[in-house]
Every structure is written in C-alpha cells, then in structure tokens.
Structure 1
C-alpha cells in the first residue's frame, strides 16, 4: 500500500518515477513496455529507458518482451528483515507462541503509518494460510488489527492523528472502528490493560490478541499477536490465558533487546 502523494518539493522525479515503474511491475506481475507506460502514465520511450536502467542494475529481468522484478528484491528484503531488531530477538518467540497456542502468531512494526509484517508462524491448528501469505506481501492499515492498535496506543497522539488523517479509518467489517473518537477511546483501554483486542474487526469469524513491544523509555518498536477462529479464541482462553501468554512474550523480547543494547555499551565503554 503506497502512501498518498504528498507532492514534496524534495522529491527527485526520476527516482520517484523509477519507484512507480517497480510498483507497476509488481502490480501487473510482469508487463511489457506499453503496459508499464500506461500504468505509470509516461511515454513508451520513457518506460523503455526506465526498464532498461533497472535491468542494468539487475533489479529487473526480461523474458521475451515482458519485464519482471528480479530476485534481487528477495535478497534485499531478506537482508532488511534479518537485520531488524524485532526479527533478531522476536522470531523464536513467535515460533513458540504459534506452538503454544496452535494458531497463527505474528510480529510487526509500523513504518510510514502502516503495518509491516516482519514474521509469521503457523501453529498446528492455524487457518487462513493464503490470507496470511498475502499479508506478508503488502503493508496494511493499523486500526483494525490487534498489533496495529497496540502500536497506535503507544505512539504520540499527534502521530496517531497524522496517520488517521492520511489513511482514514477504512471499514473492513461491521466491527471495525471507523470513528476517530471511538478509536482514541479504544487506545486508552489498550494502555490500561496492556494489550489490544481484534474482535472480528478485520475478518469476520477471526479474533486476535496483540501486545506492544517497547523500549525502556516507552517508545514502541512494534507488536506481536496471536489470531484464530472465534470458535477457539473465546471464554477464559481469550480473555485471560492468551493475553497473559502474549504480554509475557512481549516482555521477554523487550528484555532481550534491552540486554543486547546494554551488552554493546559494556563492550564499548565511554571514557
């Protein structure tokens, strides 16, 4: 999900256009020069030049008259993910959460006002493989997921206002929060309890519990969650057992990150 065009005077048009070409190839799942030109709104000669440059940089491959994104993006993506502090310190805990709950467990962060899924693991009873695969490939809105709301609850209010003003409060189901006042009331409840609930707000029949992952000064790094069918996520398991399980895991991840940071300061003491 690309953010709205802000029209910043600092934007380099050629770089922005190259990004548009890359996004067009992803959207179209490969395309010829004419299709790219029409999708991006540029001339065929310009499209040909951009595609040729991207091919030279090994970001695009050509099969016949069709251009496709290269596997270079896979390597770049894996490099970014494996270097991310939440992935390094949270991956094993997400695997454990999936095993303990039997459901899907998730790890995410917020970037540019959107939810970015870093890692997912499936328990033995997990449902919705295709849906979760798509979720790993696309950024999503924050206000209808438990992880997204857990992050919003610990962002500065002004930042939350900016995100809502930029992306709106899109209705996914009849349970989705679509009113700004109702959202801020919900975020207050999350701060009070320490975890967020998605009660069929993204997909009917699916619930989730999410908890924030924070730094010692209270800044939010991201969140983790467990999601599953309402037939299993109900009763005491949903209201007591699962929130405890998830908040404990979040706390352990926080502790691991904090200790890693502290160990680096010990290795490199200041004079």
Structure 2
C-alpha cells in the first residue's frame, strides 16, 4: 500500500472522529463553526457531515448537526461487552437503593475512566456525569481506587499521557501527593473524593479486584457534601461499599 495514501486515510478517519467529538462537547454545531474549529473549508466539513448523516451517526436540525442515536447502538454494544457490567449492575442498583444516593460503576481503558453503569437512589442528586462518559482518574474517588491498585509504572504512564488538570481547588495535581493518597487507599480499602472533581459533591469508592489481584474497576456512592459527612462519609458508606464489592468479586470468580 502506498505510504502517502495510508497516511491520508488515517488522517481522514481521525478527522471524522474529532468532528464527532466536537459535536458531543458542543451539543451540536454548524458547518461554519466546525470549519473554523478544524481550519478546514466549509465544503470539506460538509462532506464529512453528509457522510455521517447518511449513515445515521449525525442528525441535521436546521443549520446545525448533532450526534445521532446510531452511536447509542455502538455505545450499548461496548457496555454490554464488558464482563463487569453483567456481574455488577444488579449490585450497584441495590447499592443505590440502600444508600438512597447515586451509585456508580467505573472501568479504566487507555488511562481514562468510563462510567459503565449508574443507578439513582431516592435522594440521588443530578450530576454532569452519564453512562459512557470519559473522565480523568486522578480527580475522582473511583479513579483513585483503580489507580491505587495499578503498577506504579503504569500510573506514571497515565499521568504522563493525560496529565493531572485541576478541576476544583481540592483536586490533587501533584504526583507525590497522589501516590501518598494511594497508600491510604490501600490501607483503608476505600477512596474518598472530597469535592475533587465537582464542587459540593463527595464520593466514596471501592476497587473491584479479581482473584489474580488485578483491578477490574471500581464502585462508588456519590452525594452532596451536606449529606456525606462524618460517620456516614467515613464509616457507614465505606462499609456498605466493601460488602457490595466483596459480592461482586465473588461473582467474578465463580461466574
């Protein structure tokens, strides 16, 4: 295969994916706006969008384009293709019901976290997160619970690749401080997020570790800092999560 053609093909595929990503972040965009974003001609952007629209991956509404539901099919396939999803979702749903808060299941892929499943208890608050959302690992209890059980060299590669951006004043942005936090997480068995990603939101998370001591993901309970405090934040919810994680880990082993 010609090297130039191969390079052009890869660039075209990447531009297509970047356009979809831009539509996701902007919740829709016009041809003119995308042309300015990618420094491409309007005709080139129109060709990309027309192709994506024809195949159902974007939808045109007036002059703007948005993500199409065809991508939901791909996302659903990816979700159900994760073994941890089937093993853990019922337990996470029960966790939400028992705690009354928002319960989450997160897995790591390519150094980022992805919400695989979420369940709302009676008192659960609405947040900016959703199933399939990609998040950093360093600024969430879920992500820290996973990172604390990965080899240090792997964590270093993740930090080097994705950085440690500050999302609130409580975000850990220093490697040494983060690794010190990992020691506490491994000692206690759970991780705490005190408004590190979202102001006013606290989270308690526990890793899911298989029979080979490999971390499969993490589960958590999130809620407003006004409710997640004191004994509930540092004892009641951690104990609840550890019990649920134990059940999930047994299910993984004997599934």
Give TM-score, length-normalised by structure 2: 0.89
Q: What is the match of residue 156 of structure 1?
A: 151
Asked whether 1:74 is paired with 2:52, we answer no
- How many residues were matched structurally? 249
Q: What is the match of residue 211 of structure 1?
A: 206
- Cα shift readout 1:164-221 (whole Å, capped 9, x = no counterpart): 1222222233332221111001111111221111123223433221011122111111
Runs (5+) with no aligned partner, structure 2: 1-6
Give TM-score, length-normalised by structure 1: 0.84
Give the C-alpha shift of residue 228 in structure 1. Answer: 1.7
Q: What is the match of residue 194 of structure 1?
A: 189
Change (3 A) 1:56 1:39: same
Change (3 A) 1:228 1:58: closer
The worse-fitting range, judged by mean Cα deviation, of 30-39 and 82-91 is 30-39
Asked whether 1:169 is paired with 2:164, we answer yes
Query: Which of residues 51, 56, 59 in structure 2 aligns to 1:58?
Result: 56
- Cα shift readout 1:13-42 (whole Å, capped 9, x = no counterpart): 111011112122223333333222222221
What is the distance in 1 between the residues matched to 2:169 and 2:114?
Answer: 24
Q: Provide the secondary structure at the position in 2 that maps to 1:12.
A: helix
What is the distance in 1 between the residues matched to 2:168 and 2:66?
Answer: 35
Does the 8 A contact of 1:145 with 1:202 survive in 2?
A: yes
Q: What is the match of residue 122 of structure 1?
A: 120
Change (3 A) 1:32 1:254: same
Matching of residues 38-117 of structure 1 within 5 Å: 38-117=36-115
Query: Which of residues 220, 229, 240 in structure 1 aligns to 2:235?
Result: 240
Q: What is the match of residue 4 of structure 2?
A: none
Give the C-alpha shift of residue 105 in structure 1. Answer: 0.8
- Cα shift readout 1:214-238 (whole Å, capped 9, x = no counterpart): 2211111110011223333233332
Q: What is the match of residue 268 of structure 1?
A: none
Q: What is the match of residue 3 of structure 2?
A: none
Change (3 A) 1:30 1:206: closer
Does the 8 A contact of 2:118 with 2:130 survive in 1?
A: no
C-alpha RMSD of matched pairs (Å): 2.1
Q: What is the match of residue 36 of structure 1?
A: 34
Does the 8 A contact of 2:75 with 2:132 survive in 1?
A: no
